[in-house]
A and B are shown apart, each in its own frame.
Chain A
């Protein structure tokens, strides 16, 4: 038995530090095998759902695509003109292809962190491997979709993303379910490695179902002068979602930025945060969180900045908008300074839409409803994600549709 399996076995029953504890045994592991299928030929219902999380069926606008349904990889391909510059495949294929994959497997996330990481090791269902080769600037985004087609399924993916030195890459990933799926569990391990002078921008869009549980576990290692930008957008109701990704800014002058837009509707329980550890001299981090709660949603918006080295600096901004008296938002910004030369700050504001904002817009001719909707859409402004124009327009369309339905 491999060492990570042994480690995982010990954590099999270990509840996570945060979020409702789940009995992982109540989900089914029994999934049919899906055969190879180009994204352009995906069944229409699947294509439509994946488009709503930013994964396109026409490959023209993407440098490469990975598509997984349940436990099967149905498509993985790099466009011809990007061959030799970037790679995309299942982590299963990557582990078979490269010996050195072991150096990236369970390295920034521990297999024994909790029962979910243990589950991902013991009952592993692929996931994607994406890599930008040294010195390559990938001009189009790559995309990956993790799709669940069967009700009550448990899907445990393990992803590895590597930006080799001096490379630059944009990735958009969408996780979603078939309209027939109500319940289920998605566990996603993601390990990021951003090497010297590389820049990785990772945008993840989630679109789950009301009785679905989600437990992503993410770690990132940011080396000298490297930049890790990560965006997270969660738009549809989910039963429970708990994640607390960590970025280690280990390198000198390394940079990390976490931006999230959480839209909590229905009975959603969202416990989402990020942690950044500033370990390299001159490292910087920025966290921007937007949480919007309606219906009976409960949102915990966390953020932790840890300064361990001199000449480091980080800021955390958390804003919450409460649209219902039955919902709540709990913002928990935390700062830990371990050396004198670190400068950490945060600001948090939670509340309802200000009357004066509505009245101001009404004085510009908007009706009360239009004003509210404009403010909500503005609150979820995807401009904060800092994406390339084309990608921003795509995601704006997705978010606007949700925001319009909020009022």
Chain B
């Protein structure tokens, strides 16, 4: 899989991050090779979303140590939009409402050209009328998730992050969303964050990691790790003898 030149799409070294004085990431190491899709498991509050927000460069996530490389470029101190320009795309788990700003306006900007918005919306089972709706105003949980995925589909980033794309999405739409994500990621790299793992029925992932208390404690084959979590829960991960402990 690995190519000779800059084989990693995303490389995170010894990343520690605090938010409002509280340490949320504690020495995270993660490498996603080009063309790979990784999954991040972990209980609520384990630091999955913090990791994603740090990769994106949200200012309230203050980096204490470590570095983040995208396709070999150090992005640790870049602004959010600079990182996005270099090829990161993200589907958020929760998104603010912005009155008067239409979903269609954002899609046009992401595409950088004219797009068939209605057709794209159809790919995630959203009605074309959503393009003229104010961003996230009055969207249901499932609609929000699909709108987030749609924005990444239109952007076509080289590295895509999906934060809990499966939560709050009904079974029928899960298949649509999962299929769309899988299609997009076929020639790209990405990181999927999931709490319950439903999305893995539709997306083939190469590697999985388990996060606990701001650290990656375990990495391996996605199906294996998921079935272990399903069987024994995250409680077991905390006691697992093989888990990587703090140095």
Q: Which residues of A contact B (CB under 8 A)?
A: 319, 354, 356-357, 359-368, 374-375, 377-381, 383
| B151, chain A: closest CB distance, angstroms | 6
Q: Which residues of B contact A379 (CB under 8 A)?
A: 99-100
Given contacts A378-B134, A379-B100, A380-B100, contact A365 B110 (CB under 8 A): yes
- Choose among A361, A367, A381 the residue that contacts B99 (Cβ–Cβ < 8 A): A381
Neighbouring A residues of B56 by C-beta, 8 Å: 363
Give every chain A residue within 8 A of B110 (Cβ-Cβ): 364-365
Question: In whole angstroms, how far apart are the Cα atoms of A368 and B44 in the complex?
Answer: 31
In the assembly, what is the distance between CA of A374 and CA of B99, in Å? 10
What is the interface of chain B mostly: helix, strand, loop, or mixed? mixed
* Contacting residues, chain A, for B151 (C-beta < 8 A): 364
Given contacts A359-B58, A361-B106, A362-B79, contact A378 B100 (CB under 8 A): yes
In the complex, chain B residues whose CB is within 8 Å of the CB of A378:
98-102, 134
**Once bound together, how far apart are the Cα atoms of A24 and B151, in whole Å?**
57
Q: Which of A354, A367, A375 contacts B101 (CB 8 A)?
A: A375
* Residue B155 CB within 8 A of the other chain: yes
Smallest Cβ distance from A231 to chain B, in angstroms?
A: 15
The residues in B between 61 and 100 inclusive whose CB is less than 8 angstroms from any CB of A are: 79-81, 84-85, 90, 92, 95-96, 98-100
Contacts of B19-70 to chain A: CB distance below 8 A:
56, 58-59
B79→A365 contact, CB < 8 A: no
In the complex, whether B186 has a CB less than 8 A from a CB of chain A is no
Which residue in A356, A362, A377, A380 is a CB contact (below 8 Å) of B96? A356
Minimum CB–CB distance from A376 to chain B (whole Å) comes to 9
Task: Give me 21 A-to-B residue pairs in the complex whose CB atoms sit less than 8 angstroms apart, sorted by A's number.
Answer: A357-B96, A359-B58, A360-B95, A360-B96, A360-B98, A362-B80, A362-B84, A363-B80, A363-B90, A364-B84, A364-B109, A365-B81, A365-B84, A365-B109, A365-B110, A366-B81, A367-B81, A375-B98, A377-B101, A378-B100, A380-B100
Chain B residue, CB-CB nearest to A403: B100
A367 to B90 CA separation, bound complex (whole angstroms): 16
User: Across the interface, do A377 and B85 meet the contact criterion of CB distance under 8 Å?
Assistant: no
A359 to B79, CA, bound (A): 10
Are A377 and B80 closer than 8 Å at their CB atoms? Answer: no
Known: A357-B96, A359-B80, A363-B81. 14 other contacts (CB 8 A): A360-B98, A362-B84, A364-B84, A364-B106, A364-B109, A364-B151, A366-B109, A367-B81, A375-B98, A375-B100, A377-B100, A377-B101, A378-B99, A380-B100
Main DSSP-derived SS at the A contact region: helix
The answer, yes or no, to whether B116 is at the interface (CB within 8 Å) is: no
Q: Is the CB of B84 within 8 A of A357?
A: no
B contact residues around A364 at 8 Å (CB)? 84, 106, 109-110, 151, 155
The complex places the Cα of A364 from the Cα of B90 at a distance, in Å, of: 8
- Set B81, B96, B105: member contacting A374, Cβ < 8 A: B105
* Across-interface contacts of B155 in A (CB, < 8 A): 364-365
Contact present for A354 and B96 (CB under 8 Å) = yes
In the complex, chain A residues whose CB is within 8 Å of the CB of B79: 362, 368
In the bound complex, what is the Cα–Cα distance between A163 and B98 (angstroms)?
37
Residues of B with C-beta under 8 A to A354: 96
**Please, how many angstroms separate the alpha-carbon atoms of A379 and B137 in the complex?**
13
| Cβ of B86 to closest chain A Cβ, rounded Å | 10
Interface string of B104-117 (1 = CB under 8 A from A): 01100110000000
10 smallest CB-CB distances across A and B, nearest first, come from A378-B100, A381-B100, A378-B101, A362-B80, A362-B81, A365-B84, A356-B96, A357-B96, A357-B98, A364-B106
- A133 vs B93: C-alpha distance when bound (angstroms): 56
> Of residues A356, A364, A367, A380, which shows the largest number of chain B Cβ atoms within 10 Å of its Cβ?
A364
Closest chain A CB from B147 CB (angstroms): 12
Closest to A353 in B: B98
Q: How far is the CA of A238 from the CA of B90 in the complex (A)?
A: 44
Q: A361-B106, A374-B105 are in contact. Are A368 and B98 (CB under 8 A)?
A: no
> Which residue on A lies nearest to B151, using beta carbons?
A364
Question: Which A-chain residue is minimally distant from B132 (CB atoms)?
Answer: A383
Interface centre among B85, B95, B96, B134 (most CB of A within 10 A): B96
Q: Which residues of A contact B90 (CB under 8 A)?
A: 363
Complex-state Cα separation, A379 to B97, whole angstroms: 12
B58 surroundings in chain A (CB, below 8 A): 359
Q: How far is the CA of A123 from the CA of B187 in the complex (A)?
A: 76
Decide: A365 and B85 in contact? CB cutoff 8 A: yes
Interface centre among A319, A362, A367, A380 (most CB of B within 10 A): A362
Bound-complex Cα distance A41 to B105 (A) = 39
Q: Using an 8 Å CB-CB cutoff, how does the interface string of B176-200 with A read, 1 for contact, 0 for none?
A: 0000000000000000000000000
Instruction: Give the CA-CA distance A381 to B84 in the complex, in Å.
Output: 27
> Which residue of chain A lies nearest to B84 when distances are taken between CB atoms in the complex?
A365
CA distance A283 to B96 in the complex (A): 35
Contact across chains for A368 and B105 when beta carbons are under 8 A apart: no
Residue of A nearest to B99 (CB): A378
For A381, what are the chain B residues with a Cβ–Cβ distance below 8 Å? Answer: 99-100, 134
CA distance A378 to B56 in the complex (A): 25
A361-B90 Cα distance, complex, nearest whole Å:
11
List, in ascending order, chain A residues with CB within 8 A of B96's CB.
354, 356-357, 360
Min distance, Cβ B122 to any Cβ of chain A, angstroms: 21
- A359: B residues at CB distance < 8 A: 58-59, 80
CB of A373, distance to nearest CB on chain B (Å): 11
User: A364–B98 Cα gap in the complex (Å)?
Assistant: 13
Bound form: Cα–Cα A363–B84 in Å:
6
Closest B residue by C-beta to A383: B100
Q: Which residue of B lies closest to A319 (CB)?
A: B99
Cβ of A357: which chain B residues have Cβ within 8 Å of it?
A: 96, 98
B85: chain A residues at CB < 8 Å are 365
Q: Bound complex: CA of A366 vs CA of B82, how far in Å?
A: 9
B134 neighbours in A (Cβ, 8 Å): 378, 381
B65 to nearest A CB, angstroms? 23
Chain B neighbourhood of A368, CB < 8 A: 79, 81
